[in-house]
Amino acid sequence: MEIWAVVVAGGTGSRFGEPKQLALIDGRRIIDRSIDAMRRHSSGIVVVGGPSVGSPASLGVAAVVPGGETRSASVRAGLGAVPDSATHVLIHDAARPLVPDDVVGRVVDGLESGSAAVVPVIPVVDTLRSIDGGTVDRDRLVAVQTPQGFDRATLVAAHRGQVDATDDAALVERAGTAVVHVEGSPDNLKITFQRDLLVAEALLDAAVTDGVHSS
């Protein structure tokens, strides 16, 4: 297996108020933390983002490519820069800068076991209601995180036709590929609003104290 990572950082941060991938957590940019989380488990990294994220040399990655109009288009741009030698790919949202190393490891283990699509998930703890009325059975639901891991050929095929979805697992599942779930982590916070930076700071402080994160 040759695994490459695509770190998607092409969003404008409309809900955050600015490009969130450039915001700082404990003095380090979100984008830099997310890239570093992929290094141990990948042979190379492609970043999808604008010039403000930095150059390949400054980021220590193989390539930086501009994003598309949608998330799926951005992923396709990143996949286009992954070398043909890659057999598998990790797709990671830059907005998840504190993903624990063991979560990434479980995704990679799933790929090494032969699964074509592996995603980390966590249980839904809130009571959920449909907008049409009625409570939804949360025991049958999970919240999906990244990185999501795929057999490269499977993912490329699922993206043909300029299709779109909220994540890549939905695309490969739509194409008929089974998606395997592995354990995610509540610490794998997605930065969406400014206040999430405070939560991330607290999580990082606690993780460093416990020896979980080294970044």
Q: What is the distance between the alpha carbons of residues 7 and 21, in angstroms, rounded to a whole number?
A: 11
* Predicted local distance difference test score (pLDDT) of residue 215: 45
* Predicted local distance difference test score (pLDDT) of residue 212: 53
On average, the pLDDT of the chain sits at 92
* Predicted local distance difference test score (pLDDT) of residue 10: 76
* Predicted local distance difference test score (pLDDT) of residue 18: 75
pLDDT of residue 211 exceeding 70: no
C-alpha neighbours within 13 Å on the C-beta side of residue 1: 21
Q: What is the distance between the alpha carbons of residues 112 and 54, in angstroms, rounded to a whole number?
A: 32
User: In the CATH scheme, what is the code of domain 3-210?
Assistant: 3.90.550.10
Q: What are phi and psi of 140, to 5 degrees?
A: -105, 10
Q: What is the distance between the alpha carbons of residues 210 and 213, in angstroms, rounded to a whole number?
A: 8
Q: Where are the domains of the chain?
A: 3-210
- Summarize pLDDT for 31-67 with one digit per residue, the tens: 999 999 999 999 999 999 989 999 999 999 999 999 9
pLDDT of residue 125 exceeding 70: yes
Please state whether the predicted TM-score (pTM) of the whole model is above 0.85.
yes
- Summarize pLDDT for 57-115 with one digit per residue, the tens: 999 999 999 999 999 999 999 999 999 999 999 999 999 999 999 999 999 999 999 99
Q: What is the distance between the alpha carbons of residues 185 and 120, in angstroms, rounded to a whole number?
A: 8
Ramachandran region of residue 60, left (φ > 0), alpha (ψ -120 to 50) or beta? left
* Predicted local distance difference test score (pLDDT) of residue 148: 98
Q: Are strands 88-93 and 117-123 parallel, antiparallel or unpaired?
A: unpaired
